[in-house]
Amino acid sequence: MITLCGIPLSNYYNKVKLVLLEKGIPFTEEHVKTHSHDEAVLSCSPLGKVPFIKTPRGALCESQVIVEYLEAAYPDTPRLLPADPFQAAKVRELITFVELHLELVVRELYPEAFFGGQVSEGTKKRVARVLPENIAAFKRLAKFGPYLAGDTFTMADCAGWVSLPLVAMTTKAIYGEDFLATAGVDWKPYAKLIGERPHAVKVAADRKADQTRPA
C-alpha cells in the first residue's frame, strides 16, 4: 500500500493525489508539514519537502518523480501518458513549463499573496519581467483542446489544474492583474472542466476540509 505524505494545501501534493485517484491506485494519507526537521521525514524527503510517498520498497520524493513512478509501476491502470514516446514527451514538456517556468516563478510571491508576509520590490519587479515572457511561451505549447495536451486528459492536466489558478491568483493579489488572462490564456473554463471530474472534486473538498482542521 502506498502512503501519500504531505498537506492538502500543497498544489504538488494534490497533483500526486489526483494521479493516484485517476489511476485507481489504493493509498492512504499521512499529514506531514513541509520543511519538517524530523529524522523520520528527512529519511524519506531529505529537504523536508512534501509531498513524498512511502512504498513497500522505500520512499520517493519530488512530485514529478512520484507520478512518473506511478505511471510506470501501474501500467494496467488508466494511462496518463501517451504510449507514443514523442507525445509522452510533449506532455512532460507541458508539465515542465507549468511547474518550472510559471509556478516556480510566482512561488516567490506566495508569502505576500497568501500568508500575510512581505516580498521585496526587487523580487516583484523581477517576476513581473520574467513571467509574461514565460506565459507567452507556455501559450504556444498548450492546446486547451480541451485539455492541455489536446483531446485527452493526461498527467499535464494533473499539474495544470493545481498550479495555473495559483499563477493567476498570485499575480492578481500582487499586481492587481491576472497575468494569464492578460496574455490571452483562458484558464478559467479549463480549470472548471478539470475541477468537475469526480476525483478533482474530492481533491478540492479534502483541501477545503483541511483548511479548517486545528493547527
pTM (2 d.p.): 0.96
**10 Å Cβ neighbour count for 88?**
18
Q: Look at residues 202, 204, 199 and name the one whose alpha carbon lies nearest to residue 78.
A: 199
93, 141 Cβ separation under 8 angstroms: yes
CATH numbers and ranges of domains, the chain: 2-73 (3.40.30.10), 85-210 (1.20.1050.10)
Tens-digit pLDDT profile for the chain (215 aa)? 999 999 999 999 999 999 999 999 999 999 999 999 999 999 999 999 999 999 999 999 999 999 999 999 999 999 999 999 999 999 999 999 999 999 999 999 999 999 999 999 999 999 999 999 999 999 999 999 999 999 999 999 999 999 999 999 999 999 999 999 999 999 999 999 999 999 999 999 999 998 876 65
Q: Which of 132, 209, 193, 134 has the alpha carbon at shortest distance from 161?
A: 193
Q: Is 1 helix (H, G, I), strand (E, B) or coil?
A: coil
d(CA 17, CA 24): 10
**Do the beta carbons of residue 199 and residue 52 sit within 8 Å?**
no
For residues 37-65, one letter each, b for 16 or more C-beta atoms within 10 angstroms of the residue's C-beta and e for the rest, the string is eeeebeebbeebbbbbbbeeeebbbebbe
Q: Which residue bears the cell 510571491?
A: 109
